[in-house]
Amino acid sequence: MRHPLADRLLTKMNGLGNEIGILDVRGTGLPVDGAAARAVATGIAFDQLMVLHDPRTQGTEAYVEIYNRDGSAAGACGNGARCVAFVLFRDRAQDVLSVETAAGLLECRRLDTWVYSVDMGPARFGWREIPLRREVEDTGAVAFEIGNGAPLTAALVNVGNPHAIFFVEDLEAIDLASFGPRLEYHELFPERANITLAKVVARDHIRLKVWERGAGLTQACGSAACAALVAAARAGLTEHDARVSLPGGDLHIAWRENDKHVIVTGPVAFEFETRLDAALFEGVSA
């Protein structure tokens, strides 16, 4: 039986090198699950697959499911949301629209053809909100063993996804490719976590390296950039507004004082559009 996603149009984009696939199934009722996302990833490389479904909430353009390349679900993706905004704005005159994800409503704003901002909603710091398996005294300072006998302290925060932010003096002194996957699956994180090394360069500038759950080392992670700025500002290390530099480039992050929402602003790039090959879905149930 031919899989219903065969020959569906997929738009390939990236946000600062964060590879994004966008699959629009609005108006079809087609379900997409983790197995289908993994199948797509065997033919088209992506860090996150953004699946657009019919809106669930009045006033929104789409309900967006987010899958990592390993088929696991994500609650939010700042770079992916900007890429979704590009696709949705292509045939529209207005410059503001909203989409919905498992993490809530996201307001997207077009600043120019290739630059977008997304309101990621409020950051969350409660141990149940992150979530953690057990209560910790202070989610802003949790010690983890990294294998060499020297514990590192992380700030834990949820910005759509659970994040652990480690502030360090030297981003290259720790092998994140080894350290990241161990911490992603740490027993404290029932939904796994994104692991970030952060260096505060100035009150308005942070540099990051990110191990993204379900995707691995990434050129950029929008929600990690948001989490890092929030954690840094909360600790008094930076202002509430800063440039966040990742291997793929820079994002501008603002943690608004009035409503505590986090805004991510940055560029997107269009790569190509293609039809999904039916062979990708061999052995995948519809």
Residues 28, 13 share a domain:
yes
Residues 43, 138 share a domain:
no
150 domain residue, yes or no: yes
Residue 172 domain boundaries: 124-259
The answer on pLDDT for 278 being more than 90 is yes
Reading the block at residue 37, the tokens are 């996302």
Which element (helix H / strand E) includes 222? helix 222-234
- First CA to last CA across the chain, in angstroms? 9
69 domain residue, yes or no: yes
- Residues 178-197 have pLDDT tens digits of 989 999 999 999 999 999 99
Residues 163, 89 share a domain:
no
Residues 92, 141 share a domain:
no
Q: Which of the following is catalytic: 77, 83, 108, 226? A: 77
Residues 140, 25 share a domain:
no
Q: Which of the following is catalytic: 83, 108, 221, 226? A: 221
Which element (helix H / strand E) includes 84? helix 78-89
Mean pLDDT value of segment 208-229: 96
Q: Is 221 in the active site? A: yes
Residues 246, 130 share a domain:
yes
- Residues 120-129 have pLDDT tens digits of 999 999 999 9
- Residues 31-58 have pLDDT tens digits of 999 999 999 999 999 999 999 999 999 9
The answer on pLDDT for 286 being more than 90 is no
The answer on pLDDT for 76 being more than 80 is yes
Residues 232, 156 share a domain:
yes
Residues 103, 176 share a domain:
no
Residues 162, 130 share a domain:
yes
2 domain residue, yes or no: no
- Residues 119-168 have pLDDT tens digits of 999 999 999 999 999 999 999 999 998 766 678 899 999 999 999 999 99
